[in-house]
A and B are shown apart, each in its own frame.
Chain A
Amino acid sequence: MASAETCKPGHKPRLLLLEENEPGEDPTVQELACDGSMSPSHPEHSPEKLHHWLSSNHICPCGPRQYAERELAHKLEELARSNHELEQFAYVASHDLREPLRMVAPYTQLLAERYRGKLDKNADQYIEYATDGALRMQALIQDLLTLSRVGREPVPLQPVDCNAVIAEVVRDLEPTISESGALIQFGKLPTVPAHPSEMRRLFQNLIGNALKFRGKERPVIRVLAEPAGRHWRFSVTDNGIGIAAECQANIFKIFERLHTRSEYPGNGIGLAICQKIVEQYDGKIWVESQLGRGSSFRFTLPKGVPEPPESES
């Protein structure tokens, strides 16, 4: 039995199609190649030759299944390559865009600092727009860079203690936490195989969102984890403004924002980063929420390093 590997693109013929002609005439022969292409009547189709082909290895024994498998493997390979190229592009673009912008932002800031009130009212307004735009673009590019860096960590996974991560995130978010009077509670959290910087980013974005989209009462944010088969199921639950059912499906998409920037600042990349981080560890992320009743972001992470898939025999 031939395996799919023996079947290479352009390998032919897979089948010889014979059409019977008038009695006494030689049959017409067509070749059907593995890639599905049909070649016209073979010029040398004497019964002797035919017999030789059929008895020799000229005919590729691939069946339709092998053919389909080979096609699928090819498409997957192409898809992986094009995905990789896209990621590479996003990374290089966001990395290289930072450099020229690094000139725009400080110089608009310098203009604002040195010339505010010295030109006219319009000029002050223009400078303010430019400064604001440059700063927002800097944040945007930084987030895009973060997004495209997910999964590019060159070092292997290591045990990450989520308690330590949360403690660090809480320290980083301290100004917002004390300003909002938020209460952050977390149970005993597990240690998972991951990249520390990505786990920090994941919790930072989720807890940061819980603080940002807070309701009228004092924010209470609870981080919990429970075993779920071979995974841990985490939850980051808040008592904030919640998310309407019809909006929940889209919130993990990049650039998806449910509010205007003046209501809630942000660029719509935070949850896309969370999703990419969780999914690269073979986990899932979703939200359970009711408008006005708070949100609970749930995600799963494997308890151990996933075993490499067994190679098929």
Chain B
Amino acid sequence: MMPAPEILVVDDNPADVTLIRESLAGTFYQSSVHSVSDAATAMDYLKREGKYKTTVRPDLVILDLKLSTPDGHSFLAKLKSEVDLRPIPVVVFSSSKSAADITRSYELGANSYVSKPADLKRFFSAVRAIEEFWFGYASLPPKETHERSRYSHSAD
């Protein structure tokens, strides 16, 4: 039995985090959802530093853009510039539909960009579609090789 997928939600709006949790409650994949509300904590979480020494590395990051400084874009840039964090897929999940935000996200290495739907049903199905795609269809780098790649590959 595969372990349940781990999702890290980086979003400072508790109402959105709750909706994301509600969306994923009782789905087939039974993802376990963790959330942090700012970029610095998210970085600790991903690097398993500070109080996150024992946490499991997430399989997917769902990232809001409107964070307190540093904002989502800066966090994304930092994450994608770290060799051992770069393989973790990041889905930007933001209320913004602005072309500038979307383009910037992809430029910085986002793996996809999804606008938060205003309607409840569409919100639920968007989050479930993200889960379905990444854990049902996409192939992810095996967890251990995240660790191994640090030693066996040079930084590209």
* A98 in contact with B95 (CB, 8 Å): yes
Interface size on B, residues (CB 8 A): 12
* CB of B140 within 8 Å of the partner chain: no
Partner of B123, one of A99, A106, A113, A138: A106
On chain A, the residues within 8 Å of B129 by CB distance are none
Residue of A nearest to B66 (CB): A99
A1 at the interface (CB under 8 A from B): no
Q: Does B156 touch A at the CB level, under 8 Å?
A: no
B22 surroundings in chain A (CB, below 8 A)? 110
Complex Cα spacing A102 to B93, Å: 14
Which residues of chain B are near A89, meaning CB under 8 Å? none
Q: Is B19 located at the chain interface by the 8 A CB criterion?
A: yes
Q: Are B118 and A105 in contact (CB under 8 A)?
A: yes
Q: Mark B113-137, 1 if CB is under 8 A from A, else 0.
A: 0001011110100000000000000
How far is the CB of A207 from the nearest CB of chain B, in Å? 24
Cβ A106 vs Cβ B119 within 8 A:
yes
Q: How far is the CA of A105 from the CA of B22 in the complex (A)?
A: 15
Residue numbers in A under 8 Å from B95 (CB-CB): 98-99, 102
| Chain A residues within an 8 Å CB radius of B119 | 105-106, 109
A103 B120 Cβ-Cβ under 8 A: no
Query: Chain B contacts of A102 at CB under 8 A?
Result: 95, 116, 118
Query: Do A107 and B15 touch across chains, with their CB atoms under 8 A apart?
Result: yes
Pick 15 A–B contacts, CB within 8 A, sort by A: A98-B118, A99-B95, A102-B95, A102-B116, A103-B13, A105-B119, A106-B19, A106-B118, A106-B120, A106-B123, A109-B119, A109-B120, A110-B22, A110-B120, A113-B120
The 9 A-B pairs with the shortest beta carbon distances in the complex, nearest first, are A109-B120, A106-B120, A103-B15, A102-B118, A106-B123, A138-B118, A110-B120, A102-B95, A105-B118
Residues of A within 8 A of B (CB): 98-99, 101-103, 105-107, 109-110, 113, 138
User: Beyond the given A102-B116, A110-B19, could you list 18 further A-B residue pairs with CB under 8 A, ordered by the A residue number?
Assistant: A98-B118, A99-B95, A102-B95, A103-B13, A103-B16, A105-B118, A105-B119, A105-B120, A106-B118, A106-B119, A106-B123, A107-B15, A109-B119, A109-B121, A110-B22, A110-B120, A113-B120, A138-B118
